[in-house]
Structure 1
Amino acid sequence: MTRRTDRRAGGAVADPQRHASHVVAVVVPEPADAVPLVALEPPGAELAVVCLGPGTKEGRAALDRALAQAAERGCRVADGPRVLRTEGGDTVAALLDALREIGPERLRTLDPDPVHVSFDKVSGTPVHDGPAGHARAAADALAAARALQLETGEPVYVECHRAKADVRLGAASCLRYPLPVNWLSAGFDGRLTAFLPTAAGVVRRFQDAPDGRSWSGPELIEGPGLLPGLTVVRDPHGFPHLFGLRRTPRPDGGVDVAVVHAAQYRTGQPPTPWQPLGGPNAGDWRKGREVGFPTAAFDAAGNLFVFARNFGHSISCRRQSADGSWSPWQHLGGTRVADELVAVTTPYGGVEVLARARDTAGVVRWYADRDGAWTEDRTQPLAVRPGTMAPAPEPGGILFRDLESNRPYAWQPGAQAPSPLGDAEGSGPPAAVRGVETDGWTYSLLVGAGPRGTCALGVYPEGRPGPDAWWRDLGAPSYGVPAAEVSRTGRLTVATRAPGGRLLVAHRDERAASLAFDDWRTAGDRRLTM
Structure 2
Amino acid sequence: MSTAALPRVTVVAAKHRDAGPLVALQRDAADLAVLCAGSDDKEGRAVLDRALSEAEGRGCRVSHAPRTLTAQQGGGKEELLKEFHELRPQRLLLPDPDPVRSGYDDSAGVPVHDVPPGHAVTALDALAAAREYQHSTGEPVFVDCRRAGAEDGADAATVLRYPHTTHWLAEGFDGRLSAFLPSADGVLRWTQDEPGGRGWQGPEPLAGPHLMPGLSVHRDPHGFVHLLALRRTPRKDGGEDVAVVRAAQYRTGGPLTPWHSLGSPNPGDRYKSREVGFPAAGFDASGSLFVFARNFGHSISVRAQGADGHWAPWQHLRGARVADEIVTVTTARGEVEVYARARDTAAVVRWHRTGGVWTEDRTVPLAPAPGSLAAGPEPGTLLFRDLGTNEPCVWQPGLASALPIGGADGAGPVTGASGVAAEGWTYSALVRSGPGGTCVVGAHAQGRPDTGVWWNDLGARSPRMPAMVHDRTGGVTLATVDAAGRLSLAHRQSPDGAFAFGSWHTA
**1:364 aligned onto 2:349:** yes
Is the counterpart of residue 483 in structure 1 residue 504 in structure 2?
Answer: no
Following TM superposition, by how much is the alpha carbon of 1:500 offset from its aligned partner in structure 2, in angstroms? 2.9
Match of 1:216 among 179, 197, 201: 201
Give the whole-Å Cα distance in 2 for the aligned partners of 1:201 and 1:86.
Answer: 30
Is 1:169–2:154 an aligned residue pair?
yes
- Which residue, out of 51, 56, 74, partners 1:89? 74
Are 2:380 and 1:393 equivalent residues in the alignment? Answer: no
- Pair 1:429 & 2:413 matched: yes
Letter in 1 for 2:385: R
Q: Which amino acid aligns with 1:319?
A: A
Describe the shift of the 1:514–1:155 C-alpha distance in structure 2 as closer, same or farther (beyond 3 A): same
What is the alpha-carbon distance in structure 1 between the residues aligned to residue 434 and residue 5 of structure 2? 18
Q: Which amino acid aligns with 1:448?
A: R
- 1:145 counterpart = 2:162: no
Q: Is 1:500 the counterpart of 2:489 in the alignment?
A: no
> What's 2:239 paired with?
254
Q: Is the 8 A contact 2:189 2:202 kept in 1?
A: yes
Structure 1: tracts of 5 or more residues without a match? 1-15, 524-530
Supply the distance in 2 between the matched residues of 1:88 and 1:278 (Cα, whole angstroms): 37
Contact 1:201 1:224 in 2 (8 A): yes
Is 1:39 the counterpart of 2:24? The answer is yes
Equivalence for 2:398:
414
Match of 1:234 among 195, 219, 240: 219
1:19 Cα offset (Å): 11
Aligned to 1:77: 62
- SS of match in other structure, 2:460: strand
2:46 alignment partner in structure 1: 61
Instruction: Tell me by how many angstroms 1:493 deviates.
Output: 0.5
Answer yes or no: is the 8 Å Cα contact 1:424–1:471 preserved in 2.
Answer: no
**2:431 maps to 1:452:** no
Contact 2:427–2:444 (CA<8 Å) still a contact in 1?
yes
- Residues 315, 511 of structure 1: CA spacing in aligned structure 2 closer, same or farther, 3 A cutoff? closer
Deviates more, 1:76-85 or 1:25-34: 76-85
Give the match for residue 381 of structure 1: 365
- Pairing of 1:279-298 with structure 2 (within 5 A): 279-298=264-283
Instruction: Indicate if the aligned counterparts of 2:229 and 2:244 stay in contact, CA closer than 8 A.
Output: yes
CA deviation vs aligned residue, 1:440-496 (integer Å, no higher than 9, x gap) = 111111111101321111211112223611100001112121001022222111000
Aligned in 2, Cα 1:511/1:187: closer, same or farther, shift over 3 Å? closer
Larger RCO, structures 1/2 (Cα 8 Å, 6+ apart)? 1
Structure 1 residue 102 displacement after superposition = 1.0
Q: Secondary structure at the match of 2:145?
A: strand
Determine helix, strand or coil for the equivalent of 2:210. Answer: coil
- Using the TM superposition, give the Cα deviation of residue 314 of structure 1 relative to its aligned residue in structure 2, in angstroms: 0.3
**Cα RMSD between the aligned structures?**
1.6
Task: Tell me the percent identity.
Answer: 58
Other structure's SS at 1:475 match: coil
Give 2:176's aligned amino acid: R
Match of 1:193 among 155, 178, 181: 178
1:340 equivalent among 320, 325, 328: 325
- Per mean C-alpha deviation after superposition, the further-off stretch among 324-333 and 458-467 is 458-467
CA contact (8 A) 1:256 1:289 kept: yes
Distance 2:348 2:173 in 1: 36
CA-to-partner distance for each residue in 1:242-261, whole Å, 9 max, x for gaps?
11100112243301100001
Structure 2 CA distance for aligned equivalents of residues 411 and 463 of structure 1 = 11
Superposition deviation, residue 176 in structure 1: 0.6
The 8 Å contact of residues 17 and 44 in structure 2, kept in 1 or not, is answered as yes
Cα offset, 1:501, TM superposition: 2.1
Cα 1:19/1:447, change in 2 over 3 Å? farther
Name the SS for the 2:345 alignment partner. coil
Q: Does structure 2 retain, via aligned residues, the 8 Å contact 1:180–1:196?
A: yes
The reply to whether residue 521 of structure 1 matches residue 492 of structure 2 is: no
Given that 1:169 and 1:385 are in contact with CA atoms closer than 8 Å, whether structure 2 keeps it comes out as no
Structure 1 Cα separation of the partners of residues 59 and 451 of structure 2: 33
- Residue 114 of structure 1: which of 99, 108, 123 is its match? 99
Offset of residue 152 of structure 1? 1.0
Deviations 1:335-393 (CA, angstroms, capped at 9, x unpaired): 100000001111111111000000000000011112x2111111111111111111100
Cα contact 1:105–1:156 (8 A) shared by 2: yes
Partner of 1:452, secondary structure, is helix
When the two structures are superposed, what TM-score results if normalisation uses the length of structure 2? 0.97
3-state SS of 1:188 partner: coil
Confirm or deny that 1:463 pairs with 2:436.
Answer: no
CA apart distance, 1:167: 3.7
> Hey, what's the Cα distance between the residues in 2 that align with 1:462 and 1:17?
43
> How far off is 1:281 after superposition?
0.2
Q: Count how many residue pairs are aligned between Structure 1 and Structure 2.
A: 507
Give the 3 Å change call, closer, same or farther, for CA 312–100 of structure 1 in structure 2. Answer: same
With over 3 angstroms needed to count, the CA separation of the structure-2 counterparts of 1:246 and 1:55, relative to structure 1, is same
| 1:104-139 per-position Cα deviation (integer Å, ceiling 9, x unaligned) | 110000111111111111111111111111111111
Q: Tell me, yes or no, if the aligned pair for 1:187 and 1:487 is still in contact at 8 Å.
A: no
In structure 2, C-alpha distance between the alignment counterparts of 1:283 and 1:77, rounded to whole Å: 45
Match of 1:157 among 142, 148, 151: 142
